[in-house]
Every structure is written in C-alpha cells, then in structure tokens.
Structure 1
Amino acid sequence: MEPTAGKPNFLRNILVKVLLFGVLIIVVRFAYIVTITGESCKLGDFCFSPENLSFVIAGTGAGVSTSNKAVGSTSTGTSQSDLYRSKDWIKAVHFYSDVFHDLVSDGYISAISKTLCVETPRGEDVLALKEIGILDSIGVYKKASKPLVISSKENRLPFDENTFDFIFSGGDRLDKTAQRPLDLTVSEIQRTLKPEGFFVAHVSAKDAYSFNSYLDLFNSCKLIKSRDIEGYDSSMPLIREIVLQKKVGSEIVIRDSDGNSANSCSVPGYKRDLVRNAEALIMEEPLKPWITLKRNIKNVKYLTAMADISFKSRYVYVDVGARSYGSSIGSWFKKQYPKQNRTFDVYAIEADKAFYEEYRVKKGVTLLPYAAWVRNETLRFEINHDPGKEVKEKARGMGRIQPVKPSVSSGSFNGEVNEIEGFDFAEWLKSTVTEKDFVVMKMDVEGTEFDLLPRLFETGAICLVDEIFLECHYNRWQRCCPGQRSSKYEKTYGQCLDLFTSLRDRGVLVHQWW
C-alpha cells in the first residue's frame, strides 16, 4: 500500500516543477524583451502589455467616492496597442515610478492611498502607481483610455468632495494640455482632495513670479516643499516638483505677505524683485515732455518680458480714462503690449459721453461710462474746448472731474460742463478681479491719480494690480508757448516723481506714461 500512495506524490512533484520552470521561462523572456532590449512585444512573444490586463480602479460615476470598480480591457485599436508597447511609453512609466517611489519614501503616498492623476492623456503615471503597489488609482482626461484613464468632459470632475488622498499632475499639464480653464481645474482638485491630502505637480514655473502665481491658485492648500528634478525626455530637461497639502477646516481669506487680513496689504518680495529690474525713472524734468515721455516707451521693461504669466487664472486690462478705442486700447495695448498669447478681458472706464457710441461695436471690451473716483457720488465733468467745433478725439479737450458744488454754476467754467456719476474705483476693482488674475492698468485721469492711488493703497486694491502705466499730470512746459507752464494743474514734476518713487518703493511696478 505504501508504494501506491507515494507514486501520486512523486508525479505531483514532477508536475509542479515543470509548471514552475515554465513560469520562469515566461518571466525571463518578459524581462529580456522589456528591460534589456526595450523592444516591443509581438503577438507570438511571451510578454504582457497593459491592454491584456484588468485593473481595480476608482469608481467612475458621479457620487462614487468610496467604492471600487473593476474595469476590464477594451478594444482600443492598433494605435493604442502600439502606444503601450513603445519605448517612449515604457520610459515614461519608469520615470513616474521613480517619482512615486520618492514620494512614498517621504510619506506623501502609501499603498492604501486613493489616488487620481489629472489631465493625463495616456495614463503612464496611473500605470506607474499601480506597478509600485498603489492599486486604487485612476486618471482623468477629456478622452478615455481604458483601463487607466476615464473620460471627464464636463467642467466638474466625476467624484465627490474629499475623495482622494493623493492627486498628481505631471508633465506641466494643468496649463499645457488642460481642456478646462486653469482656475476651474484647480478648484476641482481642491474640492476632491481630502483634508490633509497631498497634491503633487510638475510645472515649468521657473521664475519667482510664475512660481508664486501657481501657489496663489491653491488658496486652500499650503506649500510643503519644492524641488527641481530632471525630466524623462529632452522636451522637459528640468522641471519643478511642487508638493501641496490641503488645509483642514480653515476659511479661505485673502492675506498679505505678512499674514495680515486687513484691507491694507504689502506687496510680496517676488514682485519687488521685478520693480528693481524695471527701467529707470526720468529724474530730471523734461523740457519737451511730449517728446521725452513718448520716446521713453522703448525703454519700458514690461512685466511679461521679465516673467511667465502662464499660471494666472484670468487676464485683465483696465484702461482708466480710456477716451476713444483707438487712443490706447486699439493703438497700443492690442498691438504692442506683449501678452504671451493670452486673451485679455478689457475694461474701458471713460466719463466723456462723446466716446460711448464707438464702444458699442467693439467686441471684447466692456465700457464703464462713469468717472473713476474714491467714492460713489455725482461729479462735475469739465471739458475745455470750443463747443462750436466738430467733436473729434484730437480736437476735443481732456475732461477733468470735480466734486459738485451747489454754489458754483456751470456758467463759471469756459467750456463744456456735464454731470457724471462717479464710482468707488478701488471697491469695483476688488469686486472684479482677484489675486489669481493678471491685471494690467493704464491710468490717465487728468490729475485724479493723486486721489485714486492713495485710495488703492488704503483699501488694499493695489495688491490686485500687477503692472501700471501711469500718466502723471503737472504744470508742464507748454508746446504752444515756450517758457510758459500749464495752469491747468497745480502739481509739479517733483511731486509726480515722488508719486512714482513711492509706488516703486512699495513694490508696485509702475511706468511713466504720456
């Protein structure tokens, strides 16, 4: 009986050894093809590719926050199969695997983390997460690439609030390949990230301005660390890796660089660095300001020539004292200001009703037919010109606003006098733009700059403006009458220079304009 019982055991051992040997042959073959040669798998080869596998990934339906769903492979076509077996794909997966290994070592992600990769067209980062044992991972993009990436065509990600422990954005994708607006994508990342969860991004923010602009987008997160790492191909030889952590239970409050939440604000250091690199101010009063200031335009160092503005939420140009469309919006800003291929929302603030009609047909420009002022009140708008002449831009005098005084009649002024509604410009600015926006301002308000600018500082609205082109009005030498100064303005060139200097000393990038 004993020999009969031992025979099946002997055969079973032989069979197990044969099976183990076969598995070993397959593993060695796979390692040789993928790791050693880097060649693609053929149909006859003993190797695996992602389309032959099924992964366990996060649920895809709206409202799914804790359940998992097994998504099997689908027929993705020859191009998809070729992609999964390409050298570039394998190289990218290896790169992201190394990245995630470091993040695991630093404690930002673990095997039990629920993870999301945003704006990932091919899903290399998703596969890399799964390869290192973080199985509960999924990617989103406008076009699905199952089983790694699901479709997310709407502005809202198909996940509940506080779903993920870890969210990743690689390859500078938030700005370069995102299908939804940058601020909306950031909002969705913060919504779906759990409190104390981590968001890691690879961005091309090299200069201090673009780096801080990126951080400003994430107002519910705090910076944990930032470092430069080498990319996996020549298109991104060096990239910046940023690690953010979502704050717990804190209200989002706009604060200055010193942590104050009051109206007054301090301009951060990275903006002050731009001011130090700006063109020098004209210290000596020009004898022919209409020539000197016009020529000075070629010396202007635009902010957009010194820093990357890619990571701003919105782009806004505010022309205070716009006059006609061709005065500065059409002739200068549209044609000459370096916009880095960004589309700007344009606001024209003009108190002279003679220019209103032409703005009706200008697309992309919002006209505010009021006078920019320090509070909401009715003002006198005085235009010194001959009423008998045809109203043309060059022939029409520059308007100036004055508070309404009941004792002063319109007949006391030799020109055209109208009443216009003035509005609190600083408060309007605070309600229209945010610190996440890129805001350029041109101000030509016939002396009112000495009222408006202090008000911008008082309310903290000055911190919302990135760059100002300011025409300062003083009793300049007149072109028509050599040796005579204009009697229209009481300020001196020295007072204007003090205004420019004080603005720059406080970190505001302001340029002398004409």
Structure 2
Amino acid sequence: MEQSVGKPSSLRNFLVRFLLFGVLIIGVRFAYIIAVAGESCNIGDFCFFSLPQTLSLVIAGTGPLAVESVSGGGSLQPELYTSKDWIKGVRFYSSAFQDLIAGGYLSLQSKSLCVETPTGRDVSALREIGVKDAVGIARKGVKPLVKFGRGERIPFGNRTFDFVFSGEDSFLQSAKPADFAAEIDRTLKPGGFAVFHFSNPKDTYSFNSFLDLFHCFRVVKLHGLEGFDSSIPYIREIVLKKECGDGAGKFDFGDSNGKCYVPGYKHDLVKIAEPLISEEPLKPWITLKRNVKNIKYLPSMADISFKNRYLYVDVGARSYGSSIGSWFRKQYPKQNKTFHVYAIEADKTFHQEYALKKGITLVPYAAWVKNETLTFEIHRDPGEHVDVKGRGMGRIRPVQSLGKEEFEGEVEKIQGFDFAEWLKKTVTKNDFVVMKMDVEGTEFDLIPRLFKTGAICLIDEIFLECHYNRWQRCCPGQRSAKYEKTYAQCLQLFNSLRQSGVLVHQWW
C-alpha cells in the first residue's frame, strides 16, 4: 500500500520541479532580453507583458532617420519619461532648439543628430517641436531614442546630417576630441550647423584650442544660457557653420616664407607669466631653485583639454634623470594627461638607458638648423669634474667651419638634423607641446630658425637655458670662456620670444 501512494507523490514532485525549471528558464531569458540585450519585449522573446500601448512621448518621424515612438515597449523605463529631470531637460532643449530655428540654424526638415546623449532628452525635444528626422547616439543605446555609437566613431555615412548637436559637456569629456571633431566634420553636410553646449569653457586658450579642431568651420553664434541642472548652472552655446566640403585643411604657417603669427590669446598668457630676471645672477644654479617656485606653468593658467596629443620635447636631454625623470614627470602639472616624451640627445653615452624607458622616443642626433655632420666638444670649466654619466655635449659646430682651430676638450663627430623641419613633421597645431632646450649656446641658432620656418607656433611652452659668459663656480670673480654671449644678449632673446607671444621661462 505504501508503494501505491509513493508513485503519485514522485510524479507530482517531478512535475513541480519541471514547472519550476521552466519558469526559471523563462525568467533568465526575460532578464537577459531586458537588462543585458536592451531590447523590447515581444512574444518571440518569451515576454508576457509590455509597456502600455497608449504611452507615446515622442513624435514619430517619417524620414530615413526616424525612430519609432515609445509604444509597445522600449528599453527606457516608463517612469523616466515622467520624472522631473526628464521633463525639465526636454523643456530646456525644446526652448533652445526653437531659438536655433528662429536664428536659421535649424529647420523642421533638418536631418539631425545628437551625439553622446545619455538619456535622449535632446532627441525627444527635437521630435516634439517637429524636427522629424532626429536620432541620437551614445555608448549605451537607449531605445527608441538613442542607438549605439560614439562621438569618435559616428555610425552614419559622409554628409548625412544638416544639424549636429553635442550637449551636456559630451565633447569636453571625450578622450579623443580631435577624432570627435573629425567625425562631426565627416557626417555634416557643407553649409550645415554644429551646436555645442559647454558648462564653462574656462579661458580663451581652451576656447581657441577647441576652435582649432574644426578647420572648415566658422563661429556664427556664441550665446550664454541658464542651465536646467544644478550640476550645470550656466551653459555656453557655440554654433559653428561648416563652410567647406573636402574635410579639414592643413595648418597654414603664414606667409610664403613659412613665418607664423602667434595668436592674441597666447599673448595674454605671456602677460600674466612670471617676470624675467633682469639682473644677472651671481649663482644661477641657486637662482633656478628659487625661480622654479615662481614659474606660472601654462596648465596652471589654462585648460588644455581640447588637444589631440600631449608631448614633451627635451632638446639636449642628456640622461633620463637630468630633467625628464627628475623634473618633468614629477613636477610639471599635466592635468591628468599622458605625455609622450621625445628625448633629443646626440651623445651616445646616454643612449642605452633610454631603451628601457616607456613612453620615450630617443632621437639620437643633434638639433641643428640643417642636416649635416657636426663636431661637438666636451669643454669643462677649470676645476670642474664630471663623470661619464653626467657629462653633456659641449659646443657643436659644422665640420666645414673648423679649419685649423684647435679644441681644448674631447671632440667627436655627430649627425645634426634640421630641428625646425622635424618639429613641423612630428607635431601638429592641435597637439600640446612643451619644450625644454639646453643646447650649450646653439639656442642662438635654433630659435631664429624656429621663427623663420613658422615652427615656433607649434610650441605651447618653452623652458630655455640660455648660455652666456657666466661666473664660474670654481673661481670667484672669474668668468668662463666657454660661451661668447652675454647675459644681456640672453635677456634680449627671452624678451623677443615673449614679445612675439611665446610663453618662455628662464632655465639654468
């Protein structure tokens, strides 16, 4: 009798377990569809409920870019559409876009793209005011308003849009602003408009750095708006018009001789830089330590976010610890940017240690005014002892100019290269370039060459050691015969750089 009762019980337990397992499978499937895949529910996806059929919060478009209205499902939570933040944001964007329509920058027929929009409020606003062909992209698509895409890789063809919008500091937050700008240029039609909302462009340097990314565009409107969110209380609206159709142009260095003109906003930085030391210091090595505390670095005065790459060019680098490791990587304010380092050093004594350093490119030649063979001399002051690790290149001269002149120190032959032309080929106007120059007197040849070729305009900040006939450490009251220039001539060199709008600092 016990056996006859046990059989139905076992069957019932099996059926219960089977049903529970089936429910578990359906639940996992449903969770995957909604939470992971981000798709809407339908019968084929094993979903047993959907959003109310009457929910419709955006105007459905009819053009090729139209997105379906929110009905019958969507990965957005319905409560998001009715939240105060959502409604406030949509109202703000609706008002801003209507002003753009009134100004002729946007029309109801404009094919429009909102780039890196986290919620799609701007897309919804466009559709509600009657811009039918409006779509958004973001790293996490929020259907049906926003599809997957990135500002650095917009998933649409060339010249697709009449209007592109970037709001909520999305451009400012991009890790690759140059690629972001290039994609907007690529997908926007000639004559189209690109509109940006920034919370606060901090200074004229960052603003002009932003504009430099858009070679074929012109500013047609600059307007301040009251923000709709406490995190962005003030918004600067920038409207750019695309005026050429062949992509970004090359950087124009100026006149036919290659000379450039440093823009006014860089002159403004020079005006607030630390003053030059007008009197020759008796102990320059001590003056340097004191003066470093007074230096106003460019990243401490301006925002450098809108740059493509960040580069430190050490001309006359010597050993890694001479300035790259001991000063630049430890003390220079980088605003959390990663800098690539170019170490220009012709002395083979220092080459091996750079092979083990990451993020450093060694240029094993001497910076010069043209490509030719040079000689350099290790010339030391009386009583000065320098071991092999600390020795540095002395004066460099072309082989042809030697004649019968005799050198007191060690002489070696090296290869020189045209530093100005190398710089123009290596960096661009959109890169942030910091340069330190310690070239044993050759600065009086290299700086004029940088001006003549226009390469000086590619450098944002210079730390220059000017070599002159200075007092000797070893011998009080005596000057070194190592250099021909005077301190007054060095001061003149610094003043000429600053008067031209180049932010240069005295270095020893």
Same fold (TM over 0.5): yes
For residue 100 of structure 2, what is the aligned residue in structure 1?
Answer: 103
Aligned: 1:48 with 2:55: yes
SS at match of 2:228: coil
Alignment partner, residue 149 of structure 1:
146
Please identify, of 219-228 and 127-136, the stretch whose mean Cα deviation from structure 2 is larger. 219-228
Q: Give the whole-Å Cα distance in 1 for the aligned partners of 2:415 and 2:312.
A: 22
Structure 1 residue 84: deviation in Å? Answer: 2.9
Task: Tell whether the 8 Å contact from 1:467 to 1:510 is kept in structure 2 after alignment.
Answer: yes
Deviation at 1:56, TM superposition (A): 3.0
Distance 2:177 2:229 in 1: 25
- TM-score of the superposed pair, with normalisation by structure 2: 0.84
Please state if 1:342 is matched with 2:306. no
State the number of aligned residues: 453
For 2:60 and 2:56, locate their aligned partners in 1 and report how far apart those are by CA, in whole Å. Answer: 12
Identify the residue that residue 81 of structure 2 maps to in structure 1.
Answer: 84
Task: For structure 1, list consecutive stretches of 5 or more residues without a partner in the other structure.
Answer: 1-42, 59-66
State yes or no: 1:511 paired with 2:505. yes
Residue 214 of structure 2: aligned partner = 218
Q: Distance in 1 between matches of 2:288 and 2:268?
A: 24
Contact 1:384 1:399 in 2 (8 A): yes
Distance 1:262 1:84 in 2: 60
Pair 1:502–1:194, CA change in 2 (3 A): same
* Structure-2 change in CA distance of 1:71 and 1:409 (3 Å): farther
Structure 2 contact 116–151 (Cα < 8 Å) conserved: no
Matched residue, 1:193: 188
Counterpart for residue 459 of structure 1: 453
Q: How far apart, CA to CA, are the structure 2 residues paired with 1:406 and 1:174?
A: 54
* Alignment correspondent of 1:393: 389
Report Cα offsets for 1:134-178 as digits up to 9, x if no partner: 0100111122111111112595322121111000001111121x3
Measured after TM superposition, the shift of residue 254 of structure 1 is: 2.5
Alpha carbons of 1:510 and 1:450: their partners in 2 closer, same or farther (altered >3 Å)? same
Partner Cα separation in structure 2 for residue 462 and residue 218 of structure 1: 21
| Alpha-carbon distance, 1:120 to partner | 1.1
Residues 189 and 154 of structure 1: CA distance in aligned 2, closer, same or farther (over 3 Å): closer
Provide the C-alpha distance between the structure 2 equivalents of 1:390 and 1:487, rounded to a whole number of angstroms.
18
Q: Which amino acid aligns with 2:146?
A: V
**CA distance in 2: counterparts of 1:448 and 1:324, whole angstroms:** 19
- 1:471 & 1:166 partners in 2: Cα distance? 50
- Aligned equivalents of 1:485 and 1:80: distance in 2? 79
| Structure 2 unmatched runs, 5+ | 1-49
Output aligned runs, 1:66-465, within 5 Å.
67-68=64-65, 70-71=67-68, 76=74, 80-152=77-149, 155-176=152-173, 178=174, 181-203=176-198, 204-249=200-245, 252-255=249-252, 260=255, 263-384=258-379, 391-394=387-390, 396-405=391-400, 408=403, 412-465=406-459
Give the superposition deviation at 1:247. Answer: 0.8
Cα distance, 1:337 vs structure 2:
0.7
Amino acid at match of 2:128: E
- Kindly indicate whether the alpha-carbon contact (under 8 Å) linking 2:164 and 2:195 is maintained by their aligned counterparts in 1: yes
CA contact (8 A) 1:55 1:147 kept: no
The verdict on how the C-alpha distance between 1:44 and 1:140 changes in structure 2, with shifts beyond 3 A counting, is closer
Measure, in 2, the Cα distance between the counterparts of 1:154 and 1:98. Answer: 24
Other structure's SS at 2:400 match: coil
> How far does residue 413 in structure 1 lie from its aligned partner after superposition?
2.6
Distance 1:454 1:170, change over 3 A: same
Shift in Å at residue 117 of structure 1? 0.7
Change (3 A) 1:263 1:72: same
1:490 aligns with 2:484: yes
What secondary structure does 1:174 align onto? coil
> Once the two structures are aligned, what percentage of the paired residues are identical?
62
Partners of 1:413 and 1:108 in 2: CA distance: 70
Residues 51 and 73 of structure 2 are in contact (CA less than 8 Å); yes or no, is this contact kept in structure 1? no
SS of 1:175's partner is coil
The CA distance in 2 between the partners of 1:279 and 1:69, in whole Å, is 56
